[in-house]
Amino acid sequence: MVDRENLVDESMQLKGENSYYASNVPEESKLPDDKRITSGGTPLLIGTDQPHQLQKRIIPITAYSWNDDNANKKVAVYIEFPESVNPSQIHCDYQIRSLVMSYNYSDTEIKRLTIPRLNREINPAESTFKVRKNKVILYLKKAKDENWPLLEFRN
């Protein structure tokens, strides 16, 4: 009876990479020596599965109204929603000449109002927002007591 395992070993030793047994192993199947299965010793972690983070879809808010409140030196921006709004899900980023309001609408969606260039400067530290039943009102504190003919700067 022929010992097939010894024939494989003998062929590998005599012919090396040209051996039938070595040449018929796809390159992607070959593992480096440090990753081959060994018996005994401490187990080696070769990888972990990280849970895939779903990226939320951003829905731009394009419908809003605004008002120049000269008496209080503020500009009010009104954003209507079809449902009640949770104030803890609102985040406002006020900058001197820009505004971003984000509403975490659901686990998969963020509704966002972005005004990249306001018509005049605001005081970000004194700008606030309030939540009413189906509405968010952004109060932009004016940096100077000036009339705002437009909310967004236009060339």
Considering the domain architecture, whether residues 30 and 62 belong to the same structural domain is answered as no
The tens digit of pLDDT for each residue in 8-51 reads 677 777 877 776 655 566 666 666 766 666 667 777 777 777 77
Q: Is beta strand 65-69 parallel, antiparallel or unpaired with respect to 128-132?
A: unpaired
pTM: 0.65
Considering the domain architecture, whether residues 18 and 86 belong to the same structural domain is answered as no
Residue 147 lies in a domain: no
Considering the domain architecture, whether residues 86 and 130 belong to the same structural domain is answered as yes
The tens digit of pLDDT for each residue in 141-153 reads 999 999 999 999 9
User: At 35, phi and psi to the nearest 5?
Assistant: -105, 0
Considering the domain architecture, whether residues 91 and 23 belong to the same structural domain is answered as no
